[in-house]
Structure 1
Amino acid sequence: MNASAPSEIAAKEPSRGSIGEVFAAFLKLGVMSFGGPIAHLGYFREELVIRRRWLDEATYADLVALCQFLPGPASSQVSFALGVLRGNGLLGGLASWLAFTLPSAVIMFAFANVAARFTGPLAQGFLHGLKLVAVAVVAQAIWGMSKSLTPDRPRAAIALVALAVVVLFPGSFAQVAAIALGAVAGLWLCRAEAAPPSGWLNFPVSRSMGGMALVLFAVLLVATPFVVAASGSHGLAVFDAFYRSGALVFGGGHVVLPLLQAEVVTPGWVSNEAFLAGYGLAQAVPGPLFTFAAYLGAVMNTPPNGLAGAAIAQFALLLPGMLLVYGTLPFWDSFRTRPAAQAAMRGSNAAVVGILGAALYNPVWTSAVMAPRDFALALFGFLLLTVWKVPSWGVVVLLAAAGMLSALI
C-alpha cells in the first residue's frame, strides 16, 4: 500500500518538456485560437490537457482560477503559466507567451501599416463596419459579464456606482478609483464562504523569485510616471500608459478598451476613428485581444510609432499580467482561501462591468451609431453573437461587408 503511494503522486505531477516543444505547441494555438479568452481556454484544455496530457484537469482548473482572479488577460496568463510549468521555468513561460501572441500581433501590425492608405468610400464603409462590430462585441461582453460578475443587488449597485464615477469624472484616474472603490465595497458587501481549492499548484518558481516579480510589478506601476515626468520621454510615456492599462484590467480583455481609450485617444496620440477600427478588426484575428496594442503602437502619430511603437506597446500591455502570474504562483495556494481577498475581487470585478458599460456609450456608441441603419446593424451583430452564437470573426466579415454596401447606397 505504502509502496504504491509515491507512484500515484508522481502520476499526478505535471510532466516537463523542452522549450522548443512549448513554443511549437503555443504557436499552433496562436494561429487557431479564434473566439476570445473563454474560447482560448477551451482550446488549451483540448490540446494540452486532453490530447497532449501535459497536466490533469484539476491542475488546469486551478490554474484558470488563478488567472481569472488576477488582473490581466486571462488566456495570455494561462498560456504563460502553462509554459512555466511545461518548460520548467521562466524560459518556458516566455516561449509560450511569445508563440501565442506573435501571430495576431503580426496581423494587427500589418493592418496598421495599410490602414492609412486605405481610402475612398468603400474603405470608409469597411472601417465604419468595424466600428459597429465594436458596439456589438462590447455589448455582448457586458451582457455576459453582468450575469456572472453582478448576479446580486450589492454587486449590481457597485457596477452602477462605478459607471457613475467614470461618466462624471472622465479619464484613467477615475477608472482606477472606480476599481479601488469596488474592491473596498466588496470587502463590506460581498463577503461569503471562501471557495474551496480545486487542486494543488506545484510550479518551478521559488518564493524569492515570486516576490521579486511582485516587487518589480509594483515599482514599474508606481515609479514610471515620475520617471516620465522627469525625462519628458514620449517612449517612456507610451510604456507607462500601456503598462498601467495592463495592470488594471480586471474581468477580461474587453475591459482594456476604456483604459486604452483614456490613455491614447484622450491625449491625441491616436484618433478615435482609428482606435475603434483597430478594435473592431481585433475581433477577427486569432490569439489574445491584447494584440490590439501592436496596432495602437504602430498608428500613433508621435514617435516612437511603427515597429518600435508596436513593440513597446505590446510588451508593456502584457508585462504586468505576466509579472503578477509569475509572482503569485508560489503563494497562490495559501492566498486563494482567504475570504477578504475573494470579497475584494468580487467587488472590483463588479466595478469593471460598470466601467465597460460607460465605455459602451462613449466612445463606442457615440462614434459608431450615427443613423438608424447603424443601430440596426449593431443590433444585428449583437444578436448574431448572443443568440445565434456566430463566431466573432464571422460577425466582423458580415458587418464590414454591410458597411461597404451601405457606403455605396
Structure 2
Amino acid sequence: MELLLGQVLGFDGDHTAPRIDEGLVLDAGRIVAVGSADRLRRDFPQARVTDHGRALISAGFVDAHVHYAQTAIIASWGKRLIDWLNTYTFPEEMRFADPAYAADVASRYFDLTLANGTTTVCSYATIHPESVDAFFAEAQARGLRAFAGKTCMDRNAPDGLRDTVQSAYDDSKRLLEKWHGRDRLSYVITPRFSPTSTPEQLEALGALWREYSDCLMQTHLSEQTDEIAWVKELFPQSRDYLDTYEAQGLLREGAVFGHAIHLTEREKARLREAGASLVHCPTSNTFIGSGLFDMGLAQTLRVGLATDTGGGSSFSMLRTMAAAYEIGQLRGNPIHPSQLWWLATQGSARALRAEHQIGNIAVGMEADLVVVDLASTPAIEQATRRADDIWQAVFPTIMMGDDRAIKAVYVGGTLSSGCRSAG
C-alpha cells in the first residue's frame, strides 16, 4: 500500500467538473482512497508515503488511435495520406511478418509511450498475426491495459500486405480468442479503412463483430477529401463514407472512428444515433495536411484524443493536447486546459468504453498514473510561477512540455522503471 502526495487531478463527470485533492492511496493495483493528506495519513498509517510535492498527479494518458508498427517511420517528410501509405507505411509494415522485428518495435514503442506518460493505447497492428502477438505479449509483460487488432486489407495494397475475406475473418477470430480479456488486454476488430477492404471483407468483419459483441471495432473515417472521393468511386452504391461501414454491420456502440474531419450532416446524425466514438488526431491531421477537426462534436459524441503515430508527429500526449488547442484556435474555439486534459485521459477512455477502468482518479479505478512536473524547463517554470490557478499552472506544460515533464509513471500501481524518478 502506498500513499502518493501531490496535486491530484480527477474529474467528477466531464471536463467541467475537475477537482484537486492532496493525495491518493494505491493498493493491489487500484485506487482505494482520495482526499486530504491529513485524512489519508490518519486513515492509512501503514501506507508507504511518496511525496511528489507540487507535481500534478493524474490518470495516465490514454492514446485512443495509434499505429505501433509505424514507430520507425514517424516524422517522414512530405506526403499526404495515400502517398504516405504507399511510400512509407506499406513498405515498413511488410517487415512485420518477421516476429523478431515485430517484437523489437513493440518493445521500443512502449518504451517511448511510457516515457511520455501514456499508460494505455489502442493500436492497429499489420495484417500479420505475428504483429498482434508481439504487441500484446509486450503489453502483457509490462502489465498494461492495451487494445489492438490485426489490420485487415484485401485490396489496394501490395501483395505482401493483402489478406482475403476468409483469412481476415479466421486470423482475427483466432487472435481475438487468444488475447481478448487476457489480463488487461482487449482485442479490437480492425479493418484499416474502406479503400483497402472489399465490401465482402467488411461484411465478414461485421459478422465477426456480431459474434463477439463485447469487442471494439476501429477504423478510419473521412480523413482527407481525396480519400473521400476515392471511397465514392469504390462504393458508388453508398450514401457516404460512413455508409460503407454501416451497410456491413460496422456501426454501433463500440465503433471507434479515427479522424472524422469531413463529415456530412447525415454522418454526424448517424454517429450520434449509433453511439459511436470519434478520435481526434491533431498532430497527424496537420502533419499530413488532412484538415481541422470540429471539437464541437464532443458535445454530443464520445470524442477521444490520439497521437496517431506514425502519421502523427509525436509520441507525446502533451504535444497532442497542444496541437488540439491550436486547431481549436483556428476554428474559433480555444479549448480550455481542463477539457484538453480530460480528452487525453477520461475522454479517450470513454471513446474506448473503458472509463470505468482507466482515465480518471477515483476510488476503485485501476492505478495507472502519471506524475507531471509543472516546472520541467526554465521556460515552463517562469510561466507557471505567474499562475493564479491550477489551469494557468498546467497550461504552459500542455503547450511546451515534453517527456522531461514526466516525473513518474505508475502502471497498475507499480512505478514504471522507465521514468525519471525511478532512477
TM-score scaled to structure 2, two decimals?
A: 0.26
More helix by share: 1
Q: In proportion to residue count, which structure has more strand?
A: 2
Q: TM-score, normalised by structure 1?
A: 0.27
